[in-house]
Structure 1
Amino acid sequence: MLASKQCLECLYNQIKNILDIFPQTNNDDILQEVRKNLKKLPKAPPPKIAVPIYKKLSTMSNQKDFYKQIKETGIQKAHNITQNLKQNLPLNNPYETLKESIKIAALGNIIDYGSQTHFSFENFSSAADFAIFDFEIFEKMLQKSKKILYFADNAGENLFDAILIETIYRQYPNIQIFYLTRDKPIINDITLEDITQNTLCHPLQKFCKILSSGMASPGFIYSDAPKKIQKMFNEADLIISKGMGNFECLENIKDSRLFLLFKIKCQVVANFLNIPIGKMIFKQNIY
């Protein structure tokens, strides 16, 4: 999915919002450079365009990870929420457990940690409002799978992903699961360092192998990935792509193994899919 004019304006506003929260002495210079660079960038998916823009921000501000504290707070709040959700899983019914675990993973893409600290299992069903839910074919393919690739998204969201990953591991202990993070800090996306340095994230390592995707972009771009990761992608029996950034980069790869799991958060994506903002998607990427 190629970036539109609205995407470029959104990216500019992201940088402006960061500088509003974390003011720099050269705010105006940074914004001027960002605006200038946005005019020169070639057509590409929004996450690919974000890389040089965030690199410019990092260089001009001398800040490696603006969102470090916000990510840590998000992980703590996600931990509190997911403990309740996990306890309410229907463990006596594996089919329903898997289905609900997918919905819980999707919730990580819904929750605004700043305003929904008291999110509860009772309002879970109404919050997870799916326009597409290709669960049956996913469940059938899972039964025959030996290797799963799971592309991570935001910090905190990884704890929701962990519930789905643990469910798959316990139901199919012979499946190898690889959880791929961003290679470097960008926005509030989860990195390998974020996971290894935060003890709340450590339990995930019992159920999967956590790796860097080798990608600095807030979305997995197959053509830019290291050969090792491309090989893993090619050899996987199932691929779970989490979040809108990964969707924007992978939607053009029509592959029965690829399942896209995200919330529609902007009008551009809503128009692209012809589905309203706010709806959840769990889509086998063959159409």
Structure 2
Amino acid sequence: MPCFMKMAVREARLACPDDIALQHDIVMSWGKTLAELDLNDPPPAIARHLAELVRTKTGCGDLYRDDKDEANKCVAALLPDLEARIAQEIKREDGDALALALELAIIGNYIDRGVEIEFDLEREIANVAGTISPEVLATLKRDVFPGAKVLILGDNTGEIVLDKLLVKEFIRIGCDVTFAVRSHPVINDATIEDAVTVGMTQLCQVVESGVDTPGTILDRCSPEFLKTMEQADVILAKGQGNFESLEGRWPGIYCAFKVKCKRVAERTGLDFGASAFYLTKQDEMDGGDGGVPNACSD
């Protein structure tokens, strides 16, 4: 609840920076709405109600548009050097380009306006090395055979630029890659507009999930997208929002994200700021224990 109230204040200020009375109205209205919601729902399912409230009261549909454009631009400037690092990794006899691309893509998950966290992206990128579970990585390598249908559930802008490194590695292996984005603007999550801007649509098929939530809430997905999920050989869910949306609700998903809040740290058993990478249990569905396998690593 404290996180959602902070988010309401931040988004009210973004939507109507010069109208203090309207900011107050948004925050007070959100407090009443929040009290009526089921807080057992995944946080992304709750967050969509705030987006609807702000949009209704202000008419502002994409609060973070400027922020998203700036994030994509800043990370794109880093891409040539990162591509060169992966090229060197490919040439090394003991190199692991897929692991490096995956770790870089996870670091990109720091770029999240849904939480308040300070980080040094360039320092994190410079120091990346061996932070993900080798056991789960080995399982992923087994599953991404040539011809495998790989579905990546994207998350934030900026992050989507680093996701291109991962997409390229799956393509190099010979996989058929599909990248999913949100269907409606919510926080700073990537939409089809961002996929076009950063060049993701030139690399692989890009589809909209149908959701208006900062996470893949299954009952907000389109029937077509759910079919895409069912037909995928591998699903890799990027971001804490997708983790919160899918944990215990869809088996056999690779989750890759940065731990960015105390609640998720406690849930995963990882430190704040750690890189999480694990495969959800094959029998992990609604009504299950919702436990997190001991395959995470910091």
Q: TM above 0.5, one fold?
A: yes
Residue 13 of structure 1 is matched in structure 2 by 6
Residue 44 of structure 1 is matched in structure 2 by 41
Paired residues in the alignment total: 271
Q: 1:264 is matched with which residue: 259, 271, 284? A: 259
1:183-204 Cα offsets, whole Å, 9 max, x none, are: 11110000012222x2xx12x2
Q: 2:279 is matched with which residue: 261, 284, 287? A: 284
5+ unaligned residues in a row in structure 1: which ranges?
Answer: 1-7
Residue 178 of structure 1 is matched in structure 2 by 178
After superposition, residues 126-145 of structure 1 pair within 5 angstroms as 129-130=131-132, 134-143=136-145
Residue 246 of structure 2 is matched in structure 1 by 250
CA 1:160–1:212: 2 relative to 1, 3 Å: same
1:192-218 Cα offsets, whole Å, 9 max, x none, are: 12222x2xx12x223310111100100
| SS of residue matched to 1:239 | strand
TM-score, L = length of structure 1: 0.87
Residue 3 of structure 1 is matched in structure 2 by none
After superposition, residues 92-241 of structure 1 pair within 5 angstroms as 92-93=91-92, 96-110=96-110, 116=120, 118-119=122-123, 122-125=126-129, 129-130=131-132, 134-143=136-145, 146-172=148-174, 175-196=175-196, 198=197, 201-202=198-199, 204-241=200-237
Residue 29 of structure 1 is matched in structure 2 by 25
Residue 59 of structure 1 is matched in structure 2 by 56
In the TM superposition, what is the alpha-carbon distance from 1:271 to its structure 2 partner?
1.1
5+ unaligned residues in a row in structure 2: which ranges?
Answer: 282-292, 294-298
In the TM superposition, what is the alpha-carbon distance from 1:117 to its structure 2 partner?
6.4
In the TM superposition, what is the alpha-carbon distance from 1:253 to its structure 2 partner?
3.0
| SS of residue matched to 2:110 | coil
In the TM superposition, what is the alpha-carbon distance from 1:157 to its structure 2 partner?
0.5
Could you tell me the percent identity over the aligned residues? 25
The amino acid across from 2:7 in the alignment is Q
Deviates more, 1:54-63 or 1:112-121: 112-121
The amino acid across from 2:91 in the alignment is N
CA contact (8 A) 1:78 1:156 kept: yes
Deviates more, 1:140-149 or 1:276-285: 140-149
In the TM superposition, what is the alpha-carbon distance from 1:101 to its structure 2 partner?
0.9
The amino acid across from 1:260 in the alignment is C
In the TM superposition, what is the alpha-carbon distance from 1:19 to its structure 2 partner?
2.9
